Amino acid sequence: MKVNVDLRLKDIPGQLVGALEPISANDGNIRGVVHHHDDRVGGRIAVNVTFEVRSEHALNKILEVWRKREVDVAKIDSFFETFPIQYLIVGSIPTKELESITKALESMENVAFIEVRYTGSANSSSRAALVTGKASKKETIASLDQFFKQRSEKHDYILIRGLD
């Protein structure tokens, strides 16, 4: 999980080390630290830190230490890394097939969400359908590639993958 926080540190030596230490102590991986020397609020210095942690639990432990050490957290954004799902299929694709694809994808593990948009009437031989969404694991994209490849070969439609 990737986390981005805006911290407010007291302007005395050792504060930054004290703020970063719990991240490493909880197996976090610091990706960036930006000091905003000019941005002082109530005598505190603003520092923006980006880091990765393994779990929500680890993040909570870090937040707890900060509370104890009186490190103010002005803003926190956490997000899981996601991988875009992007497939366009073209050909004779009945609505039933689109429903079946949607169902299959929705039941797949690690598919965060999907959206299917399509054009053309159901009996047109050149219907285009765009499947977009997000997956939380890279391996999911590999399985989806396989899924769409087999499906398009079986039903004889053209598959256009996104460029990862």
Partner 1 sequence: MKVVIAGFGTVGQGIAEVIGMRQELFSKSFGQQVKIVGAFDSSTIVKNARGLDPVELVRRKASTGTVGTRKVDGGVKELIEEYDFDTLIETTPTNILDAEPGYTHIMAALGSGKNVITSNKGPLALRFRELSKAAARNKVQLRYEASVGGAMPVINLSRELLRGEEIFSLRGILNGTCNFILNRMKDEGLPFEQALREAQEMGIAERDPSYDIDGVDSACKLAILANAIFGKDVTYNDVIRTGIRNITEDAIALAGEQNKVIRLIGEINKDRLEVSPRMVPNGHPLAIGGTLNIVQLLTDLAGEVTVVGRGAGRMETASAILSDLLAILSEDRAKGR
Q: 8 or 127, CB closer to partner 1?
A: 127
Quote the strand ranges of 20-138, DSSP E. 29-41, 44-52, 72-79, 83-91, 111-118, 127-135
Q: Is 116 in the site for partner 1 (CB under 8 A)?
A: no
Least Å distance between CB 34 and partner 1? 23
Among 95, 119, 136, 146, binds partner 1 (CB under 8 A): 119
Least Å distance between CB 85 and partner 1? 12
Strand pairing class (127-135; 72-79)? unpaired
Contact stretch for partner 1 (CB under 8 A) within 1-9, 61-69, 70-78, 88-96: 88-96
CA dist., res. 89 & res. 84, Å (int): 16
Q: Is 90 in the site for partner 1 (CB under 8 A)?
A: yes
Q: Is 150 in the site for partner 1 (CB under 8 A)?
A: no
Among 63, 120, 137, 147, binds partner 1 (CB under 8 A): 120
Q: Is the dihedral of CA 105, 127, 89, 154 positive or negative?
A: positive
- Cβ neighbors of 48 (< 8 A, separation 6 or more) are 4, 5, 6, 7, 32, 33, 34, 36
Selection from 116, 109, 96 nearest residue 144 by Cα: 109
Contact stretch for partner 1 (CB under 8 A) within 54-62, 71-79, 103-111, 116-124: 116-124
Site residues for partner 1 per CB under 8 A? 86, 88, 90-91, 117-120, 126-130, 132, 158-163
